[in-house]
């Protein structure tokens, strides 16, 4: 047959496909089972959160952040609150900081549970899915106990948290955390020493440390390649500098190491929660100068004493401009990586510009690099291992 008369098969994977974790669409150019080219298309879940938030007050933006990464909405809320607190110069009470840390880690466990469930299901191990969902259910019930919501919690507030936690919650949580490492072992007995699982994950989707940094990966996806970077350790927020925990890192940067990192994070999260419960201080849960919900919204009062600048051009208006537009970037360690909020403020009640640095967006971008040259089955394993949530990716 003539070489011109053959061509690669184009496969359109998604946006409706059981293993693309939402509405990711991949155009795969395959030769038999081998992938020659992989082009991701995103944007099917684009709701314009950044544009919308320019028309809402700071307090109103908070529920929007729930809808970014809907599996760990608590951490998104915390990230946004921290950015606004940094902008306004609010000091959060200690108790609120600890509560937020507890809640963040519970959300991390929840999110990782969904990850292990779906990742294992993608590779074909069905049973892990239900085991993980069983434990997530308990945590969601705990969320419900405190916040009244299971998924989109909107629990933290700028300057603290919405409501206090009670003893019942702490007891239940403590009980859960005590048994949780055993549950993690249970998932590991199902897959960790399984030859099929090892064959499917070891040496697949390898990305080296330098490349991982160059591609801007964060979170467990980066740490699987052996790079030590964790926002909780590098730029501590909330109560993370008051608790003792380790950041697990991998070595080879393959799917297995990324999997292992997250499995170890389960245990570290449990450790953090335990310490936080022990150290939980008494006191108020909301700062006194926290912004209140008012109609019409009042402008933000920003303390601009620590602004410091130097101008090298001759333009009179520049100084006013610099003083008017203050801006901060604050990031938190979301289950998927570094979730950053960049807020430009023009002294009005609404953010002038809010930018969400979404880890899933960056990680979806690395998919072609991981998939090209692999087999179709590896694409699914790779999507699972970088753990993307399309709500956050498309914003």
Q: Minimum Å distance from CB 269 to other proteins?
A: 23
Kindly compute the dihedral angle of the four CA atoms of residues 366, 369, 373, 379, in this order, to the nearest 10 degrees.
Answer: 0
Q: Minimum Å distance from CB 150 to other proteins?
A: 20
Is 226 an interacting residue with respect to other proteins (CB under 8 A)?
no
Q: Minimum Å distance from CB 304 to other proteins?
A: 8
CA separation for the pair 363, 169 (Å, rounded)? 35
Between 95 and 223, CB nearer to other proteins: 223
Is 54 an interacting residue with respect to other proteins (CB under 8 A)?
yes
Output DSSP code: residue 41. Answer: E
* Cβ 394 vs Cβ 45: under 8 Å: yes
Q: Minimum Å distance from CB 246 to other proteins?
A: 18
- Written as six digits, the tokens of 13 are 């994977």
Site string for other proteins, 114-133 (x = CB under 8 A): ------xxxxxxxx-xxx--
**# residues near other proteins by CB under 8 A:** 91
Q: By CB neighbour count within 10 A (0-12 exposed, 13-18 middle, 19+ buried), where does 68 fall?
A: buried
CA separation for the pair 96, 156 (Å, rounded)? 9
- Residues counted in the chain: 395
By CB under 8 A, the residues from 128 to 157 that bind other proteins are: 129-131, 134
Site string for other proteins, 66-95 (x = CB under 8 A): --------------------xx-x------
How open is the CA angle 346-161-339, to the nearest 5 degrees? 60
Q: Minimum Å distance from CB 74 to other proteins?
A: 22
Among 31, 55, 144, 246, binds other proteins (CB under 8 A): 55
Between 13 and 106, CB nearer to other proteins: 13
Q: Minimum Å distance from CB 331 to other proteins?
A: 8
Stretch (H or E) spanning 382: helix 376-386
- Written as six digits, the tokens of 181 are 């490492």
By CB under 8 A, the residues from 354 to 373 that bind other proteins are: 355, 357, 361-362, 364-366, 369
Between 288 and 321, CB nearer to other proteins: 321
Between 147 and 331, CB nearer to other proteins: 331
* Cβ 374 vs Cβ 204: under 8 Å: yes
Which distant-in-sequence residues (6+ apart) come within 8 Å of 18 by Cβ? Answer: none
- Written as six digits, the tokens of 260 are 């292992």
Cβ atoms within 10 Å, residue 236: 14
Q: How far is CA 234 from the centre of its chain?
A: 16
Q: How far is CA 95 from CA 103, 109, 159, 164, in A?
A: 12, 21, 11, 9
Between 252 and 368, CB nearer to other proteins: 368
By CB under 8 A, the residues from 5 to 34 that bind other proteins are: 9-12, 17-19, 32-33
By CB under 8 A, the residues from 171 to 200 that bind other proteins are: 190-191, 194, 196-197, 199-200
Stretch (H or E) spanning 363: helix 359-365
Question: Dihedrals φ, ψ of 25, to 5°?
Answer: -125, 130
Between 31 and 168, CB nearer to other proteins: 31
Q: Minimum Å distance from CB 260 to other proteins?
A: 16
Is 347 an interacting residue with respect to other proteins (CB under 8 A)?
no
- Segment interacting with other proteins, rule: CB under 8 A, options 58-66, 151-159, 279-287, 299-307: 299-307
3-class secondary-structure state, position 281? coil
By CB under 8 A, the residues from 302 to 331 that bind other proteins are: 304, 306-313, 317-318, 321-322, 324-329, 331
Among 8, 188, 192, 216, binds other proteins (CB under 8 A): 216
């Amino acid at each position: 047959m003539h070489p011109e008369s053959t061509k690669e098969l184009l496969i359109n994977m998604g946006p409706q496909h059981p293993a693309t974790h939402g509405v990711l669409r991949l155009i795969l150019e395959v030769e038999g089972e081998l992938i020659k080219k992989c082009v991701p298309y995103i944007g099917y879940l684009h709701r314009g959160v950044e544009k919308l938030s320019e028309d809402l007050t700071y307090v109103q933006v908070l529920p929007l952040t729930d809808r970014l990464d809907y599996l760990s909405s608590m951490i998104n809320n915390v990230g946004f609150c921290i950015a606004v607190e940094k902008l306004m110069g609010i000091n959060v009470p200690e108790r609120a900081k600890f509560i937020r840390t507890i809640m963040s880690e519970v959300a991390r466990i929840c999110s990782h549970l969904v990850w292990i469930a779906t990742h294992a299901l993608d590779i074909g191990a069905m049973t892990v899915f239900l085991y993980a969902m069983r434990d997530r259910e308990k945590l969601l019930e705990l969320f419900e106990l405190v916040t009244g919501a299971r998924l989109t919690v909107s629990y933290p507030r700028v300057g603290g948290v919405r409501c206090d936690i009670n003893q019942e919650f702490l007891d239940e949580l403590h009980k859960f955390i005590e048994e949780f490492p055993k549950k993690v072992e249970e998932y590991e007995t199902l897959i960790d020493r399984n030859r099929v699982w090892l064959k499917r994950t070891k040496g697949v989707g390898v990305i080296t440390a330098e490349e991982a940094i160059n591609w801007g990966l964060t979170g467990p996806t980066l740490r699987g390649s052996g790079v030590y970077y964790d926002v909780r350790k590098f730029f501590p927020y909330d109560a993370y500098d008051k608790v003792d925990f380790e950041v697990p890192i991998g070595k080879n940067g393959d799917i297995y190491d990324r999997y292992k990192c997250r499995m170890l994070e389960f245990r570290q999260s449990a450790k953090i929660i335990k310490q936080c419960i022990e150290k939980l201080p008494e006191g108020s849960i909301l700062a006194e100068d926290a912004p209140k919900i008012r109609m019409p919204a009042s402008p933000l009062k920003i303390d601009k004493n620590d602004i410091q600048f130097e101008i090298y051009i001759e333009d009179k208006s520049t100084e006013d401009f610099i003083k008017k537009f203050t801006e901060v970037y604050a990031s938190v360690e979301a289950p998927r990586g570094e979730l950053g909020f960049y807020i430009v403020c023009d002294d009005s009640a609404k953010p002038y510009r809010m930018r969400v640095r979404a880890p899933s967006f960056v990680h979806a971008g690395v998919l072609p690099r991981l998939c090209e040259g692999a087999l179709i089955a590896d694409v699914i394993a790779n999507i699972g291992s970088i753990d993307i949530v399309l709500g956050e990716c498309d914003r």
